[in-house]
Structure 1
Amino acid sequence: MARLLGKSGITITPIIFGTWQAGKTGWVGIEDAEVIQAMRAAYDAGVTTFDTAEIYGNGYSEELVAQALHSVRDRVVYATKVFPNHLEYQQVMDACEGSLQRLKTDYIDLYQIHWPAGSFKNKVVPIEETMRALNDLKQQGKIRSIGVSNFSKEQLAEAAQYGQIDSIQPPYSLFWRQVEQDIMPYCVENDISIIAYSSLAQGLLTGKFGPDHKFAEGDIRTKNKLFQGEHFQRAQKALDQLRPIADRHNCTLAQLSLAWLIAQPQTSAIVGARNPDQAVQNAAAAEVTLNPDELEEIDRISRSVTDHLDADPVMWNFAA
């Protein structure tokens, strides 16, 4: 099941446990004990790769990862991210140190730039300066590989001029496919892994959110374009067409969506879990094998949603 992370020689799993929710910010109804149990359950089910970030709950998510996995640290891969307010040379060095301490480890397997410099009104730092810090951290053995997240193809190519980039982390799912246009061909050509986030379109692909669903106050999904208006209606129709395929495989809609995603070139899927049962179900998606006809059929159904989206790669109306 394992696959290589870019050219790094590091082995990752096709299903990656995501811990955005564990930080609690932007999510509701998350319990620490259950998240820790979910990470352990994912590990027991064969998932060895765990993705977090310093910004998730201001480091809280990283601390929970350490609590859950410290005893098996040598058998898991930690991926974390530096936020765009820390992209000057010394800021990167300090941010990495903070992540190392919270993760209770002396190395990070994959260290990623979370958003390009200048995002969220942060200072624009030349990518050359940020990469110099990341290369130094790699030389010191504090990180084993470098990745980027939410970069355009141009930004990815520019970063790659200053060092080896082993992965890019974009939003990518059956209902969100902008990455396929120019980033994916570049990654295939340059042996860069695609680590998809929001791989279930923030839960939409589970089929659990019917036409009348109302989210709790403070839930980030209220700003997600896919949960709004005609996009949401088209998604519901597409889910109805996907259900018979899932039934044929005796799997859930979520597992079917993940199976399709990890069958795409270079792609592994980050997926979160609130409890152990969800974690085990997510891990089982790696066992679902789709034949070429099914992949094509799913692709066609998916386009009934994605063909109507604009080219903006950001999934949320953050300004709204």
Structure 2
Amino acid sequence: MKVHEAAAKVGASPRALRFYEEKGLIAPVKQDDNGYRLYNDNDVERLRWIVALRELGLSIAQIKNALASIDKPSAFLEKVDAARGKLYEEWLAASQMLRAFDETLARWHQKENISLDEAEAAAENIRSIRSLRDKWSDKWDFDGIARQYGTHAPLTVLQHFISPSAYDAALAQTLEWLDPQMEEKGLELGAGSGNLTMLLAESGAQLTIVEQSAEMLAILRQRVPQVTARRGNMLSLPVASSHYNFIATSFAMQYLDRQQQLLALQEMDRVLLVGGRLVISGLMAIESGSQPADEPKSRNHEEAAHAITPSTLSELTGWLKQHHYDVVSRHITESIHIIIAVKM
């Protein structure tokens, strides 16, 4: 069929089809005698995918990347999952810009005067948040660690700082303090290969997990197929606002720097319902400037020590109290603490 017929079948314009061809998304056969494009059934099916994914918000580059794996469902899902996370990041950034714009505009209306200083301050705040998100990177190669160590991957990363028994105790106390109930909507962040997830899922709660490593997610989906697993970052959660009864995160905050940890708290606050529970467990120093009491297990792993940023207990609890949470904390070992907070 010719371009106009193919375009009518997929609900697009002939111009759009030519654009997709220019971008390398489709390659119809050209007739030798007149150069007209001819589209077969496979071309039309591919065009249907292109149109659908475009409407869902994927960029041309993301669609091209995903369609390269259309015959491999697991690889295709991994790519569109990553694209979904990026779409949430863009939505969240746009929402924050709009909120800052609204607040600035409201102040101008109240004073019946415009202020360049206020506009620059709002812009700098948005710039700072964007910088915090953009500068995070996976220094630890969690995909590689997941492939090599499987379900033991999370503890493998931490083995120079904590013992397996301390790790297990932290997970158990996180579950105990969280006390998830049947049918509650719960969220776990930085879920890794699913060690805490398995405990939470046994409660019957409707659990969603967020994890940035595709390989960790693959392990987790095999271990706990009943949960909703999403690829994403703690700094821009790919979930709806004001939606969850509880949030848990265990041994994940230390992979963010201190400012990013506070931004992660802001994201948790965005998605947690009033009355909801938040439990954070992991490596923590008591006060700003101090270090966790436990040293790395081996002096040969100083590089690993520099690659993490233990949370500061007083800083996290201070932020939560300032944002109207009822907060208590407990220690598991000298370097492992747990924060329990209820959103008032």
Report the structure, 1 or 2, having the larger strand content.
2
Same fold (TM over 0.5): no
The TM-score with structure 1 as length reference comes to: 0.34
The TM-score with structure 2 as length reference comes to: 0.32
Report the structure, 1 or 2, having the larger helix content.
2
Higher relative contact order (CA 8 A, sep 6+): 1
